[in-house]
Amino acid sequence: MTAPTIAELEEQQTRLTLPRFTYEDAWTLGTLLVDLARERRAPVAIDIRRGAQQLFHAALPGSSADNDAWIDRKRRVVERYAESSLLVGTRFREKGKSFDTDSRLDPNQYAAHGGSFPLTVTGTGVIGTATVSGLPQLEDHALVVQALERFTSA
C-alpha cells in the first residue's frame, strides 16, 4: 500500500465532512467499521467518540488491550491537531522531523500513526474521532476512510 500524499490526506478530510453526527450515526458508522473489518478478518479495535464521550467501541478477535492504548494515543493527536493522525505524522516526516521527538509531546500519550480520523461537522468543525488499531498504520487509516466514504454516500 502506497502512502497518501499530504494533498490526498487533506482532500479526504475536506470530502468526508458530515452534515451532522448523532448517537445513531455513531452506531451506524461503528457497525460499518466492524463489518468491513470482519470481511478482512482484521484483528482490530474500533473506537468512535464525540468530544470526551465514547459512543462506540468494538474489539474483534485477535485484538488486544494494546490496541486500545494505541487508539488513545492516535485519538489524542487528532484532538490536538484537528487532522487525521496519519496527516499529522506525514507532515512531520515531510519536514524531515520525527513526531515523537520534535512535537515535544509525550510519546506515551500521543502517536501520529495512521488510524484516527476527525469527525468534522459542516459549520461546526471537528466534534469527535473515529479510530482503528490493529493493522499497519496505512491500513488502519484506509479502513476508517473507506467506512466514512460509505457512510457519507448512504
Grid coordinates 494505541 are at which residue?
A: 70
Cα 58–chain centre separation: 14
User: For the segment 45-88, what is each residue's pLDDT rounded down to a tens digit?
Assistant: 999 999 999 999 999 999 999 999 999 999 999 999 999 999 99
C-alpha cell at 68: 486500545
The amino acid at 142: A
pTM of the entire structure? 0.96
Question: Amino acid identity, residue 26?
Answer: A
All structural domains of the chain:
6-153 (3.30.450.150)
Q: Which amino acid is at 74?
A: K
Cell numbers linked to 39 = 470481511
